[in-house]
Structures are given as structure tokens and as C-alpha cells.
Homo-oligomer: A and B are copies of this chain.
Amino acid sequence: MNRPTEKAVNAPRACFIAAGLDVLGERWALLALREMSLGVHRFDQIARNTGASRDILTDRLRTLENRGVIERLQYSERPARYEYHLTTSGAEVAPILISLAAWSSTWMRDETPRASYRHSCGADLKPVVLCAECGEEFTPGSLLLGPLVSSPGTDPASGQ
């Protein structure tokens, strides 16, 4: 039996970065979402464009669907075929893809030619991340740990 009042000192940090990676950090998940962001919605094309094997892709799409990140929309009755579309949650993954693409195009350049990205205004991808509250730019190191939170709002009962 375990004692619920004691803190497990060796437990990994339960934070929202780790929670997000549970869903988005599995192999191929972000690439599948990239495809949907770019307007590709069908299984075969997503498989081709990502390079994921079909069985794993099936698994990832189910996970993303179960977590509410994407939804399956039927586009054919008789052979019952579906398209995969981003939900609101899935569309909001965009900043992650944007940050990743920007980091990578700065730091991962090599001889191999790769597709770059740009903003819809036509400019090369160069995102700036601001704090919505104070308007200041997020600098490395300006990300700090906050309090523990769960669904009904911050739970002050649990010992910090």
C-alpha cells in the first residue's frame, strides 16, 4: 500500500509540456497535423507526405481523434470513406508548428533542400512570441513554473 499523504520525491515533473507531448509527441503526430494544416485530409496522401507507415498512421489518427485534436468527416457513403480535419484544438497547434519551423530553418540548415514556410503576408517565416498580458517578448528564461492546476481551476488543497 502507498501513503497518499507522502510526496513521491522521485516522480517526474507533471507539467503541461509533458502532457502535451503525450498527444503531440508521438512519432508522426505533428507531421500528420502539418498535412491537415496544409489542406491534405485523406489517409493515403497523409501517409505519403509524412512517410509514416500505414498502420502507425492509423493508430496516431485514432489517438488524435480520441483526444479531440482532429475529427473524421465522412465524404463517401458507400465505400464509407472519411477525411481527417483539424478541430479548433487541432488548428491551435499551429503556433507549435510555426515555432518549430522557424527554429529549424534557423538552426537546421544543411545541403539538403527543404521546403520552407512563410506567413500569408508573403514574408519569410519569422515569428515573434509576446506575452498577451504585458506585451513583452518572451525571451529564453522568461518561461517560469507556475502553480499546479487541474480541471475545476487551481486546487489549493493539495500540498504544493
- Write the residues of chain A forming the contact surface with B, with a CB cutoff of 8 angstroms: 10-25, 27, 30-31, 34-35, 37-38, 48-51, 68-69, 86, 89, 91-121, 123-134, 136, 138-151, 155, 158
Contacts and interface: CB of A to CB of B under 8 A. Distances in A.
A98 B129 contact: yes
A17 B143 contact: no
Contact of A30 (B13, B19, B25, B108): B25
Contact of A101 (B17, B31, B115, B125): B17
A13 B97 CA distance: 15
A134 B117 contact: no
Given A91-B141, A105-B149, A120-B144, 10 more contacts: A12-B48, A16-B117, A17-B101, A17-B117, A21-B30, A86-B140, A115-B145, A119-B142, A127-B132, A128-B132
Contacts of A136: 119, 121
Contact of A106 (B92, B130, B146): B92
B37 A94 contact: no
Contacts of A51: 11-12
